[in-house]
Structure 1
């Protein structure tokens, strides 16, 4: 009788353990805990950092504290080098980051298509493309490079400032020393414009402008405003010549190791963070432009005809880089 009773207990215990295992499997094993790190290129006052903090808070709340994200400003995890940050997310020595597609194009030149001159007439068009087939093709390229994309944020269109003159035509750029991002496409483009492009770390730009080592630079309004370049630059040309979206990326191996439930949690929280970042960036840009004008900077917006002249001059870039970006990818982003 005792033997029978003991056997019954063992059977019941086995059934219970099996049931618990089935429940854990059904839940996707979502009891796993994660302590993740995430970097952003710019400082804590930026919309990038605010959105990353929002992401961290939402993920922690929705996972009941199982998934924690520590956010680091100014590329602290990569010694201030955003190119290194992208490599770290790719190889898994860093978990997540907000980085510009310009930086990602250093890793894979196909991603430079998003920065092609005047490829998008406005932000609505840019984001409609990123939400469609073009965005999926970009996502596939990121996955090939070990990064799982969690959506796009906004650094904005890049504008020109200088200390020489109001730039309205390519002739106004003739011989002007302009600091640009360190990628080949921009170097070739600015030479087409007739300028004298130079690359340097952004931390050197203010002093170089102040000392006259360079005449101008190009960046989104937020960077121009937050870096107080109006103190050393008299003129701004608003021409939206190059789009600069952000990629919210996570190491792909890490993401693939997560349960389906945790993956969905990350996707939803990232979508909310990106939406918040874009809204804040667009709202802030209007205020920042006004601040720059109020400070005495001349802000000139190119007319449609003036912009067309720059577009014509930049056409050789498309001829040269189509094979690098990929004909199919370029066609998707250029299509109506």
Structure 2
């Protein structure tokens, strides 16, 4: 059995407030055998790409009632990624298979529950796409928009954090469906991207707005039919004032609340007066629709109808910085870490 060093990114201790790079440690002393023990049912993979997602912050805190199991300090951070099988004790996976699913922030990982992995069939697109448009964020956008929002042609759609991994897809799906779409982001560069590359009808920099309610009334003088919420907090509060009768809100993420509680939402009474349906969801509830999603999205990617923006940090050592950057808006598009291009 060949034993090699296995570089890892581990959580030093539970985090309070905004995460810092110093909350994570690059560890080079771990060793791993590149051959599974006899009788193992696991899969041994070499990680190629890792996904930086805001929900990982939730697992850095030991919080009662969270649906995310907290990390164990001193252990590698876990998340979604793309990997290559280098040994397998599972009948469904062979050496050389490419997969995406739950893995760890390290060079090599032993996956004890291979049933969570999805075998990659389409390799004529960038493999990094399986951390984004062809992975969890893509399914999140698909299920959230089509299943939760129940869109109708001509709907007025607003997407917050619109240049992110999920938001950029929701906006494009809405445009293809025949909706009017406005997105918000935190820099001029991202606003330009939304309008000039991703095809949104309009976009604005929420950091430049003194009053979010006023901003939304400017872009939606007739109100909002669909709000795809990635941020919660003050933005959600302002949106509630601008929803139309029988509007729908998909509560996808609350990134403004991950590091601090902030102000409570005060305008919930509008849900009653405007008959608004607001529904949270978890993408794993919709993974059974993944084959159907691939049938829809693959032609759109190959035709160039759908555009997907990635921000790729190269090297496992850059994973902590890439992750922390999510909470200051440093990334442009889906944040990915390239561990190995093999």
Normalising by structure 1, we get a TM-score of 0.31
Q: Which has the higher contact order (CA 8 A, sep 6+)?
A: 1
Greater fraction of residues in strand? 2
Normalising by structure 2, we get a TM-score of 0.31
Greater fraction of residues in helix? 1
* Higher radius of gyration, 1 or 2: 1
